[in-house]
Amino acid sequence: MSTTTPDSAPTDLILIRHGETAWNRELRFQGHADVPLNDIGHEQARRLGLRLAGETAQHLISSDLMRAQQTAAPAAQQLALQVVTSVALREQHFGVVEGMRADEIQSQHPRAWEEWLEFREDHAMPQGESAREFHARVIAALGTVAAAHRGQRLIVVTHGGVLDMVWRTARGLSLSGPRQSEIPNAGFNRIRIADPAAPDAIEIVEWADTRHLADLPPQPTYDQRRHLRKD
C-alpha cells in the first residue's frame, strides 16, 4: 500500500518554450522585449494545444510576456484552464542590446560583445541580468510553483533561457559556457521536482520533443557555440 501523501509527492512540470516570433527568425536578442508570435508561432501553439489536450494538468502558468501567453492560450482552451502569469518566468534580461542581432551588437557595443563571448556566469549585458542572477530567479520561481502545487502536474510556458537554466541545473553543469541543450520553440519538456525545498534537485523525464511540429518549416537556431573564437 502506498504511503505517498500530497505533502510528500513530487511535482511534475511540463515546460514549454514559447512559439516562434519574427525576432527568433531574425536571430535577435529578445529578453524582456514584448514580441508577439509570428504566423508559424501561432501554428506551433495550436498544435501544442492539441498535444497537451491529452495531458492531465491542474494548472497552467505562463511568463507574462506576450509570446508566452499567446503560446499558452490554445492549451488553456483545450484543458479549460485559466492562464496564471508570472514575471519571474520571463527570459533573461539583456538590457540595451534587446532587439539586436549579433552583428549589430558587435558593431554598436563591441566591448559588451567580446565579454559576452566568454560566457561567464557573472557577466551581464549593459543594464541587463547575469546568468547567475537569472538562474537564481528561475530556480526560486520553480521552487515557489512546486511548493504551491505539490503532488500536482503543471504546464509552464516560458522561454529558452529559462529552459537552459533548468537543463544546466538538472545535469549539474556550470552556468558559464555556451548553451549545450536543444531548446526548440514550442518543444515539449517534462521535469519532476521531488522536494520544493530543494528545487535545484531536478529530474528530467523528457526533453525537446517536437513530434507535434512535424512538417512545419525548420526552426531558426541560435547556436551560441558558433560565435566562439577559434584559437
Q: Which residues are the active-site residues?
A: 18, 91
CA-nearest of 59, 61, 11, 13 to 195 is 11
C-beta separation of 6 from 58 below 8 A: no
- Which spans in the chain are helix H? 22-25, 39-52, 66-79, 102-108, 110-116, 131-148, 160-171
Answer positive or negative: Cα dihedral of 93, 99, 104, 109. Answer: negative
Residue 87: its H or E element = none
Q: What region, left, alpha or beta, does residue 193 occupy, with left being phi > 0 and alpha being psi -120 to 50 degrees?
A: beta
Find out whether 38 is annotated in a ligand binding site: no
C-alpha separations of 71 from 40, 61, 68, 109, 210 in Å? 11, 11, 5, 32, 15
Find out whether 23 is annotated in a ligand binding site: yes
Find out whether 169 is annotated in a ligand binding site: no
According to DSSP, the β-strands at 188-193 and 11-17 are antiparallel
Residue 164: its H or E element = helix 160-171
DSSP code per residue over 178-192: ---S---TT-EEEEE
Find out whether 211 is annotated in a ligand binding site: no
Find out whether 17 is annotated in a ligand binding site: yes
Find out whether 22 is annotated in a ligand binding site: yes
Find out whether 144 is annotated in a ligand binding site: no
Side-chain-side CA neighbours of residue 56 (13 Å): 3
Residues tagged in the binding site annotation for substrate: 17-24, 67
Residues tagged in the binding site annotation: 17-24, 67
